[in-house]
Amino acid sequence: MQYRKTVTLKDGRECVLRNGTEKDGQALPDIFNLTHAQTDFLLTCPGEGDMTVEQEAEFLRGKTESVSRACVSPAIMV
């Protein structure tokens, strides 16, 4: 499913909400490890993600090709 929406944040910056694509395959484990290292309030720890970069890319490709499911990623434009 293709999804793209731009919203304006309270501070005036724009944030693009879009579906993740195969090209984001490396970014998912990177952000997973970053966010999980910053808090003790998540169920998993950094490095506990069990998908390879190739598996993440395949997962995102499947969501992009789906007619009813999406994996939405935010990107703040600076």
pLDDT in tens, 28-73: 888 888 988 998 888 888 888 788 889 989 998 998 888 888 788 7
| Inter-residue contact 76 to 17 (CB < 8 Å) | no
Between residues 77 and 47, the one the model is more confident about: 47
Residue 55 confidence (pLDDT): 92
Alpha carbon of 72 to those of 2, 21, 24, 39, 47: distances in Å? 9, 10, 11, 22, 22
Provide the strand spans (E) within the chain.
4-8, 14-19, 72-77
